[in-house]
Chain A
Amino acid sequence: MDAVWVYAELDPYGAVAPSTLELLTKARSLGPDVAAVALGPGAGEAAAILGEYGATTVFAGDDAVFVDHPAEPTAYVLGRLAQAHRPQLILFGPSYDARDVAGRLQGILGCALVANVDDVLDTDHVRLTVALSLWPGRPGNLRGGIAGAKLVDVELSGPAPRLVLARAGAFEAMPSAGRAEVVAVDVEVPAERRRTRRLERHEETDTGPKLEEARVVIAGGRGLGGPEAFALLEELARAIGDAAVGATRPVVDAGWAPFRMQIGQTGKTVKPDVYVAVGISGAAQHVVGMKDARRIVAINQDPDAPIFQLADLGVVGDALTVLPALIAELESARVGAARAG
């Protein structure tokens, strides 16, 4: 029987990650036998929503070991469950927590793993977009949404289960009327699988609309030159209103912006009404996180930047000049509208 499992990700407060619900929706299109594995405090309560989105069985383990000792206990228990129940496929979301579990599980089981998947065609085949150019280089590299992209179909082989990590937002989450049977997980995690310890959690507060929900996303890249210029993006967001600020991975790595602002392959996927890319060259890793925006505006000094291939409106210029002028124009337009009204 070709069972499809979904690794259900829970946040520190026991809430189910949106990506889990997307994966369950996809899983139920692959076959009738869909299970979710939820490990960590809140797993039992999560069973209702997991069932609603397509799990017929939920393997639930509420033990705090899964949060006190990151990744390894989860991979160990998932491996034991997979060996006992033999699913054909286990689907994971794109987060680093999920990658850690999947990577270690691949070592435990010696099975296939494919990441950054755009679609699961059946339990043996997946489809992904491979960017053949890492960074912007030549205009000749440009193909479609991603510089030099190819759509690649991959057939999985070797022992089951096969592990598939989907891209953020690859599937749309849709509830069904389903209910799941809950199976309590009672696998004991041995001491040698409790080697990593979480000592502390530091949470920073976030203001303004959420990146995934804002109608306008303004994102900055290395081309901004430094953290001071990045602050101009916040100012533009305030001038627009329903806007949130995002960043590329190099900007987050450089410490100009926190990780929660990261858009792209390893960050968030956004689909706003308008995406304003400032000082962003258009590297494939970033583009996969924003290419489905309804309208794209790009501001960049380099007229050959690949982002211009993607933009509906491209501005060749210095962000430090363009942004203040744009903010002033928005304010005068607002004043004008107020007078007219």
Chain B
Amino acid sequence: MDVVVLAKYVPNPSGSPPEIGPGLRLRREESDGGLDPSDEPGLELGARLAGEHDGEVIAVSLGPERAVRALHRALALGADRATLVVDPLLEGADALATAKALAAALGRRPFDLVIAGVESSDGATGTMPMTLAEELGIPALTFARRCVVENGRVSIERQTDSGYDTVECGLPALVTLTAAAAEPHHPSLRETIEAKKKPIERLSLADLGLDAADLGPTQRVTSVEIAPEKQAGELIDASEAPRRIVRLLEEAGVV
């Protein structure tokens, strides 16, 4: 069973904030970004499923050349090989363009399962995997806290407001995972070294048979302003805390 795991490059969480670049795009030039932590459970589960069902894990990313760093991490976490969709025309690609380009990349070879995070840590739109499933013409199960593959079908526990639902479908399919679905391991030194020998394929839009007209933007930022600042309150020591918090609760009339 071959598993594709989407591996997004995100800027370093503790890095400096990006600048507003030409065309009011957010320009992220940090040198030390990496794999979105939301994608790590998918790599862990993907490696487990491919191991049990005799297949391969392919990590796929779309982004600038530096997104290769996310793929290095994905390979250390258990992917067998990786694909980077990289093209200057994809700079600033919205979710629809991303889904179309990823669908073209994934459509080049058969697969059984596509795994994605529920939403990225930076954009947090949370709709791209479903759009990708539609572009690929496959069913999708989302928001899984548990995911099992048996007899050519995939079944998940989907988190709901009151508990969870059990939902299932046949393969090939796409699933999105929460962090509860699998606990990523820390790659060993050996895994990190071995990862450097694994192949990384690069695909441009021309390789995918797409051009800019296929990926036209559907939105444009017209203005950006800094949100108003709030005055920070008082910082106190732990020893004063009980008395001060009780006073605040009393002032609010809640105790």
Contacts and interface: CB of A to CB of B under 8 A. Distances in A.
Interface string A106-124: 1110111111100000000
B121 interface: yes
Interface string A277-291: 000000001000000
A138 interface: yes
Nearest to A110: B96
A104 B168 contact: no
A181 interface: no
A199 B168 CA distance: 7
Interface in B206-255: 216-230, 232-238, 240-246, 248-250, 252-255
A216 B155 CA distance: 38
A196 B168 contact: yes
Contact of B127 (A115, A137, A148, A299): A115
Contact of A196 (B140, B216, B226): B140
* Most B C-beta atoms less than 10 A away, residue of A138, A157, A203, A253: A253
Contact of A265 (B124, B227, B242): B124
Nearest to B134: A107
A308 B141 contact: no
Interface string B154-166: 0101111111111
B167 interface: yes
A207 interface: no
A99 B130 contact: yes
Interface in B128-165: 128-135, 139-143, 155, 157-165
Contact of B254 (A254, A273, A334): A273
Contacts of B141: 70, 196
A47 interface: no
Q: Is the interface of B mostly helix, strand, loop or mixed?
A: mixed
A80 interface: no
Contacts of A296: 233
Interface residues of A, number: 106
Given A72-B139, A203-B162, A315-B241, A310 B124 contact: no
A309 B122 CA distance: 21
Interface string A57-82: 00000000000001110010000000
Q: Is the interface of A mostly helix, strand, loop or mixed?
A: mixed
A104 B133 contact: yes
B127 A102 contact: yes
Interface string A170-190: 000000000000000000000
Contacts, number: 292
A103 interface: yes
Given A71-B140, A295-B252, A308-B232, A132 B167 contact: no
B210 to A, nearest CB: 14
Given A107-B134, A125-B222, A265-B124, A196 B233 contact: no
A112 B127 CA distance: 12
B219 A154 contact: yes
Interface stretch (A21-29, A48-56, A321-329): A321-329
Contacts of A130: 26
Contacts of A260: 161-162
B134 A96 contact: no
A86 interface: no
B14 A137 contact: yes
B135 to A, nearest CB: 5
B55 interface: no
Contacts of A285: 121, 124
Contacts of A100: 127, 130, 140, 142
B16 interface: yes
A240 B255 contact: yes
A271 interface: no
Given A148-B17, A149-B226, A216-B249, 18 more contacts: A96-B143, A106-B127, A106-B131, A116-B124, A144-B229, A154-B221, A155-B222, A162-B218, A199-B166, A202-B164, A240-B255, A254-B179, A285-B124, A308-B232, A313-B234, A313-B236, A322-B238, A326-B241
26 contacts: A72-B140, A99-B127, A103-B129, A107-B130, A107-B135, A112-B94, A112-B218, A113-B125, A116-B125, A137-B13, A140-B16, A144-B226, A151-B224, A151-B225, A152-B223, A155-B219, A195-B170, A196-B141, A200-B166, A201-B160, A202-B164, A273-B254, A276-B245, A299-B241, A314-B236, A326-B245
Interface of B: 10-11, 13-18, 20, 26, 94-96, 99, 118-119, 121-122, 124-135, 139-143, 155, 157-170, 178-180, 216-230, 232-238, 240-246, 248-250, 252-255
